[in-house]
Amino acid sequence: MNLRSITVGFNLRKDSNEETIRKAAGIVATVRRRLTDRYPKVRTTRLCTQPLIEIDGLNPEGGGRLVKEVDRLCRSGGVDWFCIPIGECYDTTHLRFVKTLPTIMRSSEIAFSNVIATRGGRINFEVILECARQVLKISRLRSDGFDNFRFCVSANVKPNGAFFPYSWHRGENGFSIGLEAIDLVIDSVRAGGDLTEIRDRIRKALSTELEKIDSIASEVESE
């Protein structure tokens, strides 16, 4: 089994985030160090923030500047990627933030972002249409259109997940660990037996690994 990602979730201010990201990078380094013996390779380390529309005092024009600051601090702290979502959009001010998406993509090559186009179980088609316009603009930032890999439009996504670019943070600071466990499943299947035996073998293999990871994560949390 491999570690796909270590993701920390932190809340930003509109500027002066040096201490915040220093702490976030410190948690990444601690988790990585604790897991190195068992999982020597971590594919990516990541930071996820609260939505831009929820950052106190931030206006749409300040988004690009904030992204550049976070980019600089993440790179210096050893964090590979960061997700700075627009958030759940439902009014005119939020649409102004959506229109800054090309600026966000231009301001950092390691930034991801997303827009949630639903609220209260309803789809906001105005938001979807504006996002479509921005997707077209983002696709033209590079000849291969790759920057659209770093942006998504979603519906009903809960906070504090680890899957980029859909992630968004809410609440207290924390971290999550993304796992690649397909090798455990394949080994369990190759060992043979009927479906019940294979299922029990997979459960046992996953439980053994997850219990060890959970123990280490709990130790880091308590420090």
**pLDDT per position as a tens digit, 56-84:** 999 999 999 999 999 999 999 999 999 99
> pLDDT tier at 162 (50, 70, 90 boundaries)?
confident
63's CB contacts (< 8 A; 6+ apart) are: 52, 97, 100, 103, 104
What average pLDDT score do residues 164-175 get? 94
Q: Compute the distance between CA of residue 140 and CA of residue 112 in angstroms, rounded to an integer.
A: 17
Report the predicted TM-score, pTM, of the whole model to 2 decimal places: 0.89
In eight-state DSSP terms, residue 18 is H
Q: Compute the distance between CA of residue 201 and CA of residue 120 in angstroms, rounded to an integer.
A: 41
For residue 41, pLDDT beyond 90: no
Phi, psi of 166 (to 5 degrees): -80, -5
